[in-house]
Structures are given as structure tokens and as C-alpha cells.
Structure 1
């Protein structure tokens, strides 16, 4: 069961104990030397890649499925490289994208504090080893610092042994981040750290990372977070490419390069067209000249042997000219191919949404004193919405946004009152639960009664960025972003087309190109939308017609509030 959110504390100086464990920046270093590593499906994650991560704020970017999470595991040492060498210096703390929350997992486990707490208990019991004493160096006050660490992250003073399943996803992420920051490591490796965080928690994280003195590698699609980085590292086609500056600078540089490449390609094509025209004119001129010489030779009444020699000479000359013109044409084509190779391929991502228009007067949603099942004690909510509205749900972690969406989708019943939806719905939850781990995307679509022929389904999925390697693989093998896109396909192309889409943090795990494609597709969606998201830029792009905001323990109509 999740708990009501607590506002993160404002940034404040580190305690003396924290300062004693503050990272020594110069000790952090990770370098890859000629590293190659293949993904499970055979695609190359890295191919003879060399790169150094020093004391800088590195933002790691790449498309969904590029292997960013796997790369972080390689950098951390959880996986050995298949070839080449990875050298590490300094202690590293990491926060994975998917946090454990199963049976037996405690908050101390999520925060990475269990080894220190157990070592301290053994030492106090008189059974501690030298390894325990080494582990506790500078961490003797770990128990006293635990509640202060949670308070700094805006969380209650939960005991370390509290089950991880008893808190919300956003709260669990804060526990993991606070624990990583408190470990006094020399470097941090964070995988999509702002997923599930509300606006205030994101602000807290930004403050903490701004004052972080050690090395930092952050895999993220969060444009705001990436703009706080000092270096962007792009993972693409088996290579790592570093770019000085934040994400906005990277985008400007990338766009300038793309514009230059496009201009070079346009120029090469124009040169080829002009060159081919000149070659055709030259060929025609040669043909006319040959015919004229042949007529003159016949009219000159020359000896047959001399005529034969001239004819052979003319044919040899014509043959050499053909070869020269072929070579020139091939050179022009090669120049175009070389220019085209430098042009970044267009993003193969599109969302072919079904025709699910909702007439302007059609009532879609009717809430009459409906009491959501969570949070406990939440007041009843009344709301009537018609037509193709766009409802934005905004509020901190733990306020019940996911529960409210599930109630609107009919998956949960209100504790009291009425909740009526007058059109077919589809929900995309944060866990992408429309997909079973063992089934493939095509199997899931077949189970959901997708009416499109398999060939057309594959074509649409390819436009969504899901090729054969993704649609034929068990869902458990998909990356976070690939799974979200697969779940979206299930929501859109099931037997009964949805006229009311309910999206719970849909941009979590999506790469930047996919987020932009989703924005464009949803901006033209003719049905009704209800979207819960902490991504302010994404919500603004959808141009909400209505807003519900969680304020002072209740849902408030904030339709007139600014985006």
C-alpha cells in the first residue's frame, strides 16, 4: 500500500558525517578499451568501442533497445565484456531502472544499506570480521543517518526493515536514490532515475546531483535532467560518441550536422543530375560524330582495308568513351551514396492510430460522488465530460493517480458513488501489464482479438519501432521502452477500438524520438484522453482541455490553471 507523499526537503549542506564520506572526484574513472559485446538477439551493443568516463556529468542517450541498461551493467562490472577491457577506479553506487519490490525485499535492500547494517550488527555482537570493519569505515552512524536520509528525500522515518512493497513506485525510487547518494561512493550510475518521480521529487534529485562532487553517468530520456549534464554520450550502432555540453547543445550540434549532411546530399544529387546530362549530351555528340565520319568514309571511295581500319579505330574509340562515361556515372552515383550515408536515417517511429472519433456531444465520463479506492480517506469526486476531451491528472507520488485511472477504466470499483464510462476504453498502465512476460507481442495481439492481418500488423509495428526481433521475442526480453510501445500497440489495435485512452506515465522508458512521436500521434487522436504524467513538456504538448490536480488531500478541478 502506498503512502501520502511528503515534500522533499530543500537542498542543504551535507552533514559532517556525510562530508567525511563525500566522494573524492579524482578517484572515479571507467574506461572501455576495444570492447565488443552482443545483445541476446545477436545485435552488437558495442563493437570495438573505446571510451573514457571521467569526473564529469555524463548523460547517456540512445534509442529504446539500444542497450543502455546493459551498458550500465557492463560499466558497473555486473556483466563481463565479451572482448576487450573495462577498467574501473573508485567505489561506485548504482540505481537500476527496475527496483526490486518482491517478497522479502526491504527498504534497506533498495537503498543498498543492508550490507552496512548487517556488518554493524555483527560488530556490535562481537562476531564482526575484518571485512565488516573495512565496510564500516566512515559509516559508523548509518543507523542514525537513516531517518535523516529519508527526511532529506521528503519521506517518512520508515524503519529499514519495512517491506519495499509497502510504498509507491515514486517513493521507492526516492529511497534508492537517497541510499545511493548517502553511500559516499566516488561515482554514481543511474538508470532512468526520474521515472515515477513527481515534480518536487525531481527538483530534489536535481539539487542533489548539482552538488554531487564525484563521477556521474545517467541513462535518461528526461530532457530537463539531460540539460543539467556537462557531457552527452550517445550509444548508437555499436559505438559510443561523446559530445561536450548538455543535451540542448547536443541537439543543436546534431541538427547542424544533419542540415549540413542534407545540404551535401542535395548538392551531390544535383551534381549527379548535371553530370549525367552532360554525359548523355557527350554520348549523343559522339554518336552523331561517328555517323558523320562513317558517311564521309563511304563517300570518299576509300579502299576496303583502309575503311576497315578506320571503322575498327572508331569502334575502339567509342568503346573507350563508353567505359569513361560509365566510370564517370559510377563516380557520380558513388558520391551520392557517400553523401546519403552521412544523413541520419529518418526515425522509423509512427503511431498509426485507429479511427476512434468521439462526437462533440457524446458523454464519455460521468462521476457522481465517486470515491476512489486510494488514497485512504479520499473525498468523493463528481465530474462530467463529453466529446474528445483531454484530461490531465497531476499530483505528487502516492496521491492515487494510477488508482483513479484504473477506476475510470473499470478495473477498480469506486468505494461509493457512481463511475460510468460511455465508450470503449483502453488503459496503458506503468507496468505494461497487457503483455505477459512469456508471450510475444503478436501472441498478445492475437489474444486481444486484433483484426488486422499479420502482415499489416507487422508493418504498423515496424513504424512504431518494433521490428521482427521485438515482435517475435517474449515480452520479458524487451527493453523498458520497447515494452511500453508494445503495450501501446495492444491498447490501440485490440478487437474493440478504444475511444477513451487512459495513459499512466506513458513516457517512462521511452526514448526521446518515441516521446516526440507519441506527442504528435496523440495530438491528432480523435478520441478522449486521460493522462497522468510528471513530464510537464509532454503534457503541454497534448494541450489538455481539462485538469485534475491533487491539492490538500483532494482532487481539484484545475482546468483554468496554467500548463
Structure 2
């Protein structure tokens, strides 16, 4: 992805505002300038990352402000769709030039053919080279899009953008739905970007490690951090620690100011009672007593006002300090009944052939609190294997048996009834559990008080995931085998951290199908299985090579 760029490659927006047709405000007076190199744009679900990219790409019109792009811009959207009847050359946008080249090679010297080709005489070679760099060298230019996998389709669209030689490239969640092999190719492409402006929106930590800087979009503004994801997390932790100290100091000051205000009020009241008593004992004339009273009230008012001002100032400092504290709280649950003794058989499968996918005659034996990752290409049948192991799908042949209580969290998160509240969904999965017990546990999943009464159908993406996770993990009987299918797909990084912390409390056996290596490492995977024509156990070195990971797996 080493592309020639113009010196003018740049990207910025000034005083940008945007509202959806229903009046929902996304940005108000946002100004951002993105420098050359690789920038990772991060933020929670709903913060406006994809909307900002669409505004920068000209696919949305701002309510106010302006966008400035220097050079050619290309945009890979998250919701990519391509006509399945298109040929690869059509998707790459080179059909007319290939046709003209063939006509010229056949002796047709029509001027129109030369105009079509322009200076792009090597277009076919460049196209094949670009496809090859993304791992698509074997698909050729004449196959149809419908013959490609979802991951290959994403990479094909990226290849089409690269052939345009963009100066500014915007990628929105490019690793979604990519298998481990396609992700590795994308990582290599990002690694090779050396000039121009590249902005990538992603929750893929391995991808974000490869950028030069992180732009954190939060509450309608952008904060900048140098380096990749690890450097960002370290800097953020330092800032949060400092913000926490400021909050604690501000809270202490507020308490002190409240105490001093109360003491001042008590002192004023005592003085007023004393003056009133003295005037009464001296039988001071009414006009003198009135003057004493007014003077006393003025002094009391000044004293109270001074302390009230100090309290207000202290409260404002506390509010300002609190705004710097993130609410990306972690899930901390106690699940002692999920524990599985070491050596106990949890699941056994023999001669298993699912109805779909490539697996033939698979065998699997799971013991104790093992943590197993299923990895492999798109279409290998990881999801089908999980659904077969759960009993949701009947196998083509062979058998699978679970020996402990099992729960499965699918990609679709369809374990929730949208018409029921969060608490009612958990109660449905945990009959016999008291309402107080459910609410106490839901608070640990960050559904406190009235939030537990929200209908599932009104939840945001991150909230819905937490609710589905709660209904799965808090079910009765307590699940001693938990299966998760691509759990980090479409989750923001805060939600991924919450999932990681929740699984840290889980003491049962775990089987996860996924492509997110950083997440899989973080939950302590003990066995790696490659799903293909058979289940192949991988060693640490093989996983590193397969997934293009740093030497972090042990």
C-alpha cells in the first residue's frame, strides 16, 4: 500500500455541526485536522465515529461548518454491499480499460480506446498485484462477486480503492467479518502505508497497534494520543489516575466548604439570638433594636454569602474534575456455582460432522475449566460447530454430549425478549432467583436502579450486549460451560473491556469462536483449535504465525 500522493494530502473539518432529521445532535462546532500517516479513530458505540467518516467523505451533509480534503479521497464504509453478479474487474472499476487494451492489442487503433486507457497501460498488472498484496491473487479478474466470501468481498473493495491511488483513505471497521487470514493481509496493508492520510475506525486492538496516533472521539470532541493502542491505554490510565486525584481533592474541598457553611450558619444564628436577648434585657429603644437587627442580618448575609460562594466554586471544580472521569466501568460478578473441578468431563464429541462447513469426522473432549478458542477461515463452520455442540442443530453424523449445564451466547444476541425489561429477561433465565438477588447482580453488570427496568428493545448496542451477557451468565442452573460466538463483533472497546472483566469472574469451561486475537489472549485461552476439515490443535508458535500476532501468546 505504498502509494504516490500529492503534497496537498490533507483532511480537516471546521466548526462542523450535524443533526439527524429527528433533531438528534451528533456534533456541534467540531474542528479537527488530521495529519499524514495512520490515525486510529476510537470511541464508544454511538459517539459518532462512522458519522464523522461519512461527513468527511461527503456522504453526509453537515448542518453547519465545512470539510476540507486535499487530494483524492476514498472511503470504505462499514455497511459494504456489492452486487453479487458483478465481475471482479467491474468491482475494481477497470473493465473499460481492459476492454480498450484488448481492442488495441487486437489492432483496433480507434482514438476512443487510447482515450479510455490514458496513461494506465499497466492497469491489469497493477490490479493483479494489488489483489495479490491483499491475499486475493487467486481469484482472478473474471470471477463474480457472488463466488467470493464476505471477507474477500471487503478486501476486493479495498483493492478497488487502492487502485484509485487515494491521498486520503478512510476505513470504517474494516476487520468486521474478516477471518484471521484476511485480517492478517489487512494488517500488512496498513503497516505498509507510508504517506498520505489514513484514518481507520476500529475496535480491533491488533489493528490499532499499527497506527501512528489515536484520535479519541468523546462527547463531541477529539483528544489526541501519540502511538498505537497500548500507548493510548497507558496515557489514558495516567490521565484517569490524575483525574481521580483531582476528583478526590475536589470532593474533600466540597465537604470542607459545606462544613464551614454549616458552622457559619450556626454561628450567625447564635449571634442573632444573643443580640436579641441583650436588646431585650437592656430594653433598648425599638429604633436601636431595629438597627442592631439590620446590622446583624447584613453581617450574617455577607458571611453566609461568602461561604456559599466558596461552596459553589468547590462544587464547580468537582463537576469539572468529574467530567474527566470516564464511565467505562468494569463488570465484577461473583459466580461461584459456575466452577468446574479440574479433570471433570464437560463436553465430548465423537465422529462429528456438522451439516454445514468443512469439518469432517471431528472429535473434541473438554475437561475442567478449559478455555478453548475456535479459529479458522470464514465459511469453515465455526458457528455451525458451536450450534451443533449446543444441540441447536442436529449433526450430519456423529454425536456431541454436554455433561454440565450449558449456555450459548450467539452473535445475534437473540437471547433477549425485546418486550421485557432487563430484569425480567434475567428472571426468565433464572427462575427461582429472588428479585433482590437479580437486581444485586444486575448492578454488577452496570444496570443499577431504574436501568434494570429498561425494555430490552430500547437498549443501545453496548447495553444490549451487557443485558444478553447477564441473562446468559446469571442463568440457573449456573452454566458450567459457556459458548460465545464472535462476541466482540461490533462491540466498542469499552464493551470489550467489560466482557473481559466479566469472563475473568467466570470459573467454568469456555469455548469461544473468534478472530480477535487480543481479546482471546486477554481471557486466558488454554487451547487453540483450527476449524477445517478436522479440528487441529495449534501451539503458541503456530498461532503467532497464523494470526500474525506479536510474541505475546504463552
Q: Place the TM-score, normalised by the shorter chain, in its bin.
A: 0.7 to 0.9
Decide whether the 8 Å contact of 2:96 with 2:116 is kept in 1. no
Candidates 525, 532, 546, aligned match of 2:506: 525
Taking the aligned partners of 1:149 and 1:383, their CA distance within structure 2 comes to 40
Decide whether the 8 Å contact of 1:26 with 1:55 is kept in 2. no
| Corresponding position: 1:419 with 2:400 | yes
Taking the aligned partners of 2:332 and 2:117, their CA distance within structure 1 comes to 52
Partner residue in 2 for 1:84: 65
Change (3 A) 1:304 1:34: closer
Candidates 131, 137, 140, aligned match of 1:159: 140
Partner residue in 2 for 1:261: 243
| Post-superposition CA distance 1:232-253 (Å, at most 9, x none) | 2222222233444433333333
Partner residue in 2 for 1:434: 414
Taking the aligned partners of 2:100 and 2:425, their CA distance within structure 1 comes to 53
Deviation at 1:539, TM superposition (A): 1.4
Deviation at 1:254, TM superposition (A): 2.7
Partner residue in 1 for 2:536: 556
Identify unmatched segments of 5+ residues in structure 2: 542-552
Deviation at 1:521, TM superposition (A): 0.9
| Post-superposition CA distance 1:188-218 (Å, at most 9, x none) | 1111223344555444333322322222010
> What does 1:466-485 correspond to in 2, within 5 Å?
471-472=456-457
Change (3 A) 1:375 1:78: same
Q: RMSD in angstroms over aligned alpha carbons? A: 4.3
| Post-superposition CA distance 1:81-137 (Å, at most 9, x none) | 23222222322233222332664355456xx40x32145436756999999977754
Deviation at 1:367, TM superposition (A): 0.7
Partner residue in 2 for 1:3: none
Partner SS for 1:518: helix
Structure 1 residues 378-387 or 486-495, which shifts more? 486-495
| Post-superposition CA distance 1:337-383 (Å, at most 9, x none) | 3333x33242267487989736547644221121345654x442222
Taking the aligned partners of 2:117 and 2:386, their CA distance within structure 1 comes to 45
Taking the aligned partners of 1:218 and 1:502, their CA distance within structure 2 comes to 30
Q: Give TM-score, length-normalised by structure 1.
A: 0.78
Taking the aligned partners of 2:289 and 2:385, their CA distance within structure 1 comes to 96
| Corresponding position: 1:192 with 2:203 | no
Q: Name the count of aligned residue pairs.
A: 528
Decide whether the 8 Å contact of 2:421 with 2:453 is kept in 1. no
> What does 1:38-77 correspond to in 2, within 5 Å?
38-39=19-20, 42-77=23-58
Partner SS for 1:26: coil
Partner residue in 1 for 2:201: 219
Decide whether the 8 Å contact of 1:368 with 1:419 is kept in 2. yes
Decide whether the 8 Å contact of 2:421 with 2:456 is kept in 1. no
Partner residue in 2 for 1:10: none
Deviation at 1:314, TM superposition (A): 3.0
Taking the aligned partners of 1:93 and 1:434, their CA distance within structure 2 comes to 35
Candidates 308, 314, 339, aligned match of 1:332: 314
Structure 1 residues 511-520 or 91-100, which shifts more? 91-100
> What does 1:91-490 correspond to in 2, within 5 Å?
91-100=72-81, 103-108=84-89, 112-113=91-92, 115-121=93-99, 136-155=117-136, 157-212=138-193, 213-300=195-282, 305-340=287-322, 342-347=323-328, 350=331, 357=338, 359-360=340-341, 363-373=345-355, 375-376=357-358, 378-422=359-403, 425-430=406-411, 432=412, 434=414, 441-442=418-419, 450=428, 463=447, 471-472=456-457
Decide whether the 8 Å contact of 1:147 with 1:158 is kept in 2. no
Change (3 A) 1:523 1:327: closer
Candidates 7, 24, 39, aligned match of 2:5: 24
Partner residue in 1 for 2:545: none
Identify unmatched segments of 5+ residues in structure 1: 1-13
Change (3 A) 1:224 1:502: same
| Corresponding position: 1:507 with 2:488 | yes
